[in-house]
Structure 1
Amino acid sequence: MKWFAYLLIVAGVSTMFYPKAKSMYYSYQEQQLLEDWESSAEGSLIQQSYQQLDNVFTEKTRPKNASDFSSKPNILGKLTINQIDLTIPIMEGASQQNLKVAAGHLKGTAPIGEPGNAAIAAHRSYTYGKQFNRLTEVKTGDLIKVETNHKKLTYKITEKLLVKPTDLSVLQNHKNQSVITLITCHPMKNPTHRYIVKAVLQKEEVL
């Protein structure tokens, strides 16, 4: 019977460490995407992208081999918020696959750094990396820095909102301003709302 007791101990230890190992794995992938990007030289679509977040945040759908990228990911840059110790890669598309290891730029919204409203979504959960877990801690006036292959952009946070998933007003276009809208789920478990942080471009440096 000793072997059975040992088996139970091993099973218990494995169960205890599995969530931590999984979190470390996705954090590692997130860091790898950042390193890959830094070493590189180089109205219906918006609604579909936004509504897709319902499945992404609640994990109603999960692609096969979701942690594996079949082709080189399209990394747009990185986003940094010093106040919450956050640096995260930004990928094109807010898919389940992308949001496991990065933030995702919603297709159909303005290009980052251009006039208009660029929407960027990321997870806020206990399962995957840090991502937007601490987004609720930022304050109005805090700075968000975005670096692409060609520009360094500094945004100032102007407002924070809690909205229902059906509220598309947060994606309203701003023709005369360059705005980024950060989107995540709220609360972290069984989310019913979207937590929104909006920021306006203050400074642009060409690389």
Structure 2
Amino acid sequence: MRDRVPVVVQTGGVRSTPARVLWAGAEAVVTCGVVLLLLVAHQLWWTNQQARAQAGRQVQALEREWEGSPAVLPSEVPAQSPAQSPSESAGAESAGAEPSVSPSVTETQPAGAAPSAETAYAIIRIPRIGLTAPVARGVGKRSVLDRGYVGQYPGTASPGRPGNVALAGHRNTHGEPFRYINRLRKGDRIEIQTRERRYAYVVDQVLSQTAPRDTGVIQPVPRSLVKPSYGYSAPGSYLTLTTCTPEFSSAYRLVVWATLVR
């Protein structure tokens, strides 16, 4: 009687069809996760690094340009000259999710040649939150805000002048200069330096939340149209900071008001 020889069949590790499907699905999930992680890192980290570096270089460039023309605080100079330049009206540029407050306002502008749009002309400093950033005219996302700059709504007052200097800045990503303005309290100091001098403002009111289209907050005499108990009723020299709130959302706007130190 012959011995039976056992036959061993080797599959070579070939997976069944369900296993292949599960493996392919797992690879797809991992790939998508890696891509999303890279996108988040780019948006939350890399854009900040780029914008802060660019804004820092601009601040240094302005400071070098102004060397030899020392700035002085308003308390060290006479009151503003009665001579005023003509008023002009301009529609503020709505720029995506950040500064969607976009009214048409009439404001006094400084005499002489004004800086061209989207060109940094001033430096804002807020000691409370450790902020130093360039200020440019205009609130375009790509041309101003995404560069880490603080943007000035077109048609609003120039620093130190009667009226309302209305500024916007990102709260998250692209340098996020206004990320911590919610920490500002009454009495905190805000400085804006131009070629001519350094102006000092003191925080007076904080509106923690209002609608994106609350155009009253950046008018010459700023007052919320949504919450009329916030704002002012008489002309003066005001500074307005606006940004999105809550963080990582553009649902509402956070507003900080300050008044010029005389």
TM-score (norm 2): 0.61
Structure 2 vs 1, CA of residues 108 and 72 (structure 1 numbering), >3 Å: closer, same or farther? closer
Does the aligned pair in 2 maintain the 1:58–1:190 contact within 8 Å? no
Equivalent in 174, 179, 186 of residue 133 of structure 1: 179
SS in 1 for 2:53: helix
Which residue is 1:197 aligned to?
256
Which residue is 2:107 aligned to?
none
- Aligned equivalents of 2:212 and 2:220: distance in 1? 18
SS in 2 for 1:114: coil
After superposition, give the CA deviation of every residue in 1:66-121 in whole Å (9 maximum; x if it has no partner). xxxxx995112111110111111100111112011200111011112100011011
Which residue is 2:112 aligned to?
none
Does the aligned pair in 1 maintain the 2:124–2:193 contact within 8 Å? yes
SS in 2 for 1:57: coil
- Residue 56 of structure 1: CA displacement? 4.5
- Aligned equivalents of 1:93 and 1:17: distance in 2? 28
Equivalent in 57, 61, 68 of residue 98 of structure 2: 57
Unaligned 5+ residue runs, structure 1?
1-7, 60-70
Which residue is 1:85 aligned to?
130
More helix by percentage: 1
Which residue is 2:154 aligned to?
107
- Aligned equivalents of 2:99 and 2:121: distance in 1? 25
- Aligned equivalents of 2:135 and 2:215: distance in 1? 22
- Residue 192 of structure 1: CA displacement? 1.2
Task: Say how many residue pairs are matched.
Answer: 180
Which residue is 1:123 aligned to?
170
Does the aligned pair in 1 maintain the 2:99–2:243 contact within 8 Å? no
Which residue is 2:7 aligned to?
none
Equivalent in 138, 155, 173 of residue 201 of structure 2: 155
- Aligned equivalents of 2:175 and 2:150: distance in 1? 11
Unaligned 5+ residue runs, structure 2?
1-29, 70-87, 101-115, 222-233
CA-based RMSD of the aligned residues comes to 2.9
Percent of pairs with identical residues: 26
